[in-house]
Amino acid sequence: MNWRFAFASSEAALLVTTTTLLAAGGLVWIAHPGAARVLWAVATVVGLVPATVWVIGQFRAGRWGADLLAVLALASTLVVGEFLAGAVVAVMVGTGRLLETLAQRRAGHDLSALLDRIPRTATLVTADGPRPVPVAELGPGDRIVVAPGEVVPVDSGVTADAAFDESALTGEPDPVTRRAGDTVRSGVVSVGAAVELVATASAEDSTYAGVVRLAEQAGAGAAPVARLADRVAAWFLPTALAIAGLSWLTTGDAVRAVAVLVVATPCPLLLAVPIAVTGGLSLAARSGVVVKGGATLELLGRAATLATDKTGTVTVGRPEVVGVVCAPGEDAARVLALAAAVESYSTHVLAGAVVRAAAGAGLRPPSATEVRERHGVGVEGRVEGSAVRVGRAGDEGALPDWARGAASRGRLDLATPVWVTVDDRLRGALLMRDRVRTDAGRTIRRLRAVGLRDIVLVTGDRVANAEEVAALLGLDAVRAEASPADKIRCVRDQRRRGITVMVGDGVNDAPALAAADVGVALGSRGSTAAAQAADAVILDDRIDRLADVVEIARRTRGIAVRSAVVGTSLSVVAMIVAAAGWLPPGAGAV
Using the CB atoms, write b or e for 416-452: b if 16+ within 10 Å: bbbbbbbeeebbbbbbbbbebbebbeebbebbbeeeb
Active-site residue flag, 253: no
Instruction: Classify 372 as helix, strand or coil.
Output: strand
Is 485:512 a contact under the CB 8 Å cutoff? Answer: no
CATH annotation of 113-220 = 2.70.150.10
Determine contact, residues 211/187, Cβ cutoff 8 Å: yes
Q: What is the DSSP letter of 62?
A: T
Cα angle for residues 275, 276, 280 (degrees, 5° grid): 115
pLDDT given for residue 338 in this prediction = 92
Q: What kind of fold does domain 289-316+437-539 have according to CATH?
A: Rossmann fold (3.40.50)
Question: What pLDDT, on the 0 to 100 scale, is given for residue 428?
Answer: 92
Beta carbons of 347 and 192 less than 8 angstroms apart: yes
Q: How far apart are CA 110 and CA 112, in angstroms?
A: 6
3-state secondary structure of 154: coil
Which pLDDT does position 175 carry in this prediction?
75
Q: What pLDDT, on a 0 to 100 scale, did the predictor assign at position 112?
A: 56
pLDDT reported for residue 16: 92
Tens of pLDDT, residue by residue over 319-356, are 888 889 999 988 999 999 999 999 888 766 678 889 99
Q: What is the pLDDT of residue 229?
A: 64
Q: Which candidate in 67, 142, 155, 309 is catalytic? A: 309
Residue 337's pLDDT is: 92
Average pLDDT across each block of 10 residues of the chain; the chain has 590 residues. List them in order: 50 90 91 91 93 85 73 88 88 80 49 67 89 91 90 90 76 72 85 87 79 54 51 76 87 84 70 76 80 82 92 82 90 92 79 88 89 76 91 70 84 79 90 85 94 91 79 91 88 92 83 89 62 75 89 90 81 84 76
pLDDT of residue 249: 86
The answer to whether 257 touches 583, Cβ cutoff 8 Å, is no
Per-residue model confidence as pLDDT tens digits over 556-575:
888 888 887 887 788 888 88
DSSP for residue 265: S
Nearest to 284 by CA among 557, 513, 100, 582: 557
SS3 (DSSP) at 14: helix
- Measured CA angle at 209 (ends 311, 512), to 5 deg: 40
Single pTM value for the model: 0.61
Handedness of CA 477, 482, 485, 487 (dihedral sign): positive
Q: Per CATH, the architecture of 320-433 is what? A: 3-Layer(aba) Sandwich (3.40)
Distance CA 95, CA 93 (A): 5
pLDDT at 2: 44
Half-sphere exposure of residue 570: CA atoms within 13 angstroms, side-chain side: 10
CA-to-CA distance for 87 and 314, rounded, in angstroms? Answer: 53
pLDDT at 58: 76
Report the length, in residues, of the chain: 590
> Domains of the chain: which residue ranges?
3-107+222-284+552-589, 113-220, 289-316+437-539, 320-433
Distance CA 235, CA 239 (A): 6
